[in-house]
Structure 1
Amino acid sequence: MAGLLAINVAEPDVPGLAAQALRLELDLTPKPGLVDRANNGSHQDMNHALLLTSIAAITPWLTVFANIGFEYAQHPATEQLRLLRPAGIACEQAMFAATGGVNTHKGGIFSLGLLCCAAGRLQGLNRAVDATSLCRQVSEICCGLVARELLNRKSCCTAGERQFRDYGLTGARGEVESGFATVRNAVLPFWHLEQGERQLQHALLRLMASNPDSNLLSRGGRAGLRYVQRYAALLLATGWDNAALRQMDQALMARRLSPGGSADLLAVAWVLAALA
């Protein structure tokens, strides 16, 4: 693990915010199709306690990602992914070791790890760390990622690569290369319409209505994705409460649908909103 570097403590603690976001996302209840305090959602292999264990294993690495961005700040933005990748793989290995091989937070490691790296790099360049600069920095770091890993890939090994081949969707790679455009456009402008847990539930519904979630595609194909998008859009249009969310939870569990990609982006949204 990389040693701690002299990151300016006056700047926002993005790794700390990222860890807090993971815990808030997990505890949010009810959360349709996802593990929460009430049930395991559409998952047979994980529960609330296992996800807490996963978060504990991931948390130290969030600072490592920021340290890497800080240490190599003078390197071009497009080199950051290569420099970050070994730590990202090590973080995933720590997650798998803690969970007995269950993929609990791989998407969160990718998205939040990039946010932390971007924050460290901005500090290393003596630039302000805020929601706008972070998103721009992540986009610069990931410039060309879709072309390199999806457009020019001849074989399909991962779920993301297969979904690009079959549906033309760029998934998490496209989201980070866009500087989290889905979060910026579908969530952040509406963040202050609600408060408390309703704020997070509202954000999650907006993400489920707009995000082409790769987890939903993997579990339910296009039909499953459309079902969740339309259901979330209906609740946003007609109004919702915890009872409506619990009913949606049951509907998604019956269809084994889990909007895990939107859950990852909810954590990103909370970090960015905290910095806005």
Structure 2
Amino acid sequence: MNAVAPRLAGRSTAPDSARLGRMAIAALQAELACAPKPGLVTPFDSGSHDDMDAGTFLRSLFALRHYFTAVARDGAAEAPFHRLRDHGLAAEAAMLRATGGVNTHRGAIFSLGLLVAASASCRTRLGRAATGEQVCQAVCQWADAFATSPLDVNSPGQRARARHGVPGVREQAAAGYPLLRGLALPALRHALAAGLPREAALAHTLMHLVAEVEDLNLLHRGGVAGLRWAQQQARGFLDAGGAFAAGWRPRLQDIGDAFVARRLSPGGSADLLACSVFLLLQEQA
């Protein structure tokens, strides 16, 4: 990490912004490629979704390729939050055009966009790459702006948030993403350090998230009963050893089949998984 600092000092941030943008897209590609994932789109099936598949996701990613570079550039320049929000709104419109109106990455546009901007901001202030935890905490600098930015109260996630009285991604961001700092990053680091292949480590980390996150996608699709059932399935998988246990893949596939039968999809947890991958990638460059 220290070797990065001399390359950052006293030069344009444009190359680093482009690099961070590519890492964000790579993180979303890694989340998509991970399989099996309960109820979620993979390269092999559409999970619990009738309106999207892997091709839909790839079209969305192509449309978003410049967004993450733009927010990194503004994050490095310490631009005001409204600049980041404008980029996000434009990215959402580009996503919907590319997918024919299907929401593939709205959550990632918000959370991953903020983390990319925060990573770039940290590099400006520190002169080096920051830890994933430092990047999460840096998002708190925009907390006051979150409180005054308008919400789409008609979105499925916001309707579920209001109906069930649970915090959403905005509250997570304002608190510096405690679920990433305290759960996802430690789980992913441990799995990789213990020698799990990347796909297994990602699946293992995803199930940690499903077990704990008050996932608005699950609440929207299955209500409180659906959310609690999904969390119970994830905890059972982890209690049996998770991806460290022999035969984990068919066992997770069986859980995924049960998710599909109930039309459940932990999309909020998937967004946080992609954020975790990005946070580790940005530590290394």
State the TM bucket, normalised to the shorter chain.
0.7 to 0.9
Gaps of 5+ in 2: 1-10, 243-247
Equivalent residue number for residue 257 of structure 1: 264
Equivalent residue number for residue 236 of structure 1: 238
Q: 1:46 to 1:156 in 2, by over 3 A?
A: closer
Equivalent residue number for residue 183 of structure 1: 180
Equivalent residue number for residue 128 of structure 1: 128
Instruction: Give the root-mean-square deviation of aligned CA atoms.
Output: 2.3
Q: 1:273 to 1:70 in 2, by over 3 A?
A: closer
How far apart are 1:103 and its partner, in Å?
0.6
Name the CA distance, whole Å, in 1 between partners of 2:107 and 2:133.
Answer: 22
Name the CA distance, whole Å, in 2 between partners of 1:119 and 1:238.
Answer: 36
Moved more, 12-21 or 50-59: 12-21
How far apart are 1:236 and its partner, in Å?
0.2
Q: Deviations over 1:49-100 (max 9, x none)?
A: 11111111111111011112223x1x5xxx42x2211111111111111111
Name the CA distance, whole Å, in 1 between partners of 2:238 and 2:201.
Answer: 13
How far apart are 1:169 and its partner, in Å?
1.1
Conserved? CA contact 1:21–1:267, under 8 Å: yes
Of residues 232, 248, 260 in structure 1, which corresponds to 2:255?
A: 248
Instruction: Give TM-score scaled by structure 1 length.
Output: 0.87
Name the CA distance, whole Å, in 1 between partners of 2:31 and 2:19.
Answer: 18
Name the CA distance, whole Å, in 1 between partners of 2:56 and 2:282.
Answer: 29
Which amino acid in 1 is paired with 2:213? N
**Other structure's SS at 1:142 match:** helix
Gaps of 5+ in 1: none
Equivalent residue number for residue 7 of structure 1: 13
Of residues 272, 275, 278 in structure 2, which corresponds to 1:271?
A: 278
**Other structure's SS at 1:104 match:** coil
Name the CA distance, whole Å, in 2 between partners of 1:11 and 1:144.
Answer: 23
Moved more, 8-17 or 18-27: 8-17
Give the length in aligned residue pairs: 262
Name the CA distance, whole Å, in 1 between partners of 2:50 and 2:17.
Answer: 40
Conserved? CA contact 2:17–2:120, under 8 Å: no
Name the CA distance, whole Å, in 2 between partners of 1:116 and 1:10.
Answer: 11
Instruction: Give TM-score scaled by structure 2 length.
Output: 0.84
Equivalent residue number for residue 113 of structure 1: 113
Name the CA distance, whole Å, in 1 between partners of 2:123 and 2:241.
Answer: 42
Name the CA distance, whole Å, in 2 between partners of 1:30 and 1:11.
Answer: 32
Q: 1:165 to 1:100 in 2, by over 3 A?
A: closer
Which amino acid in 2 is paired with 1:168? G
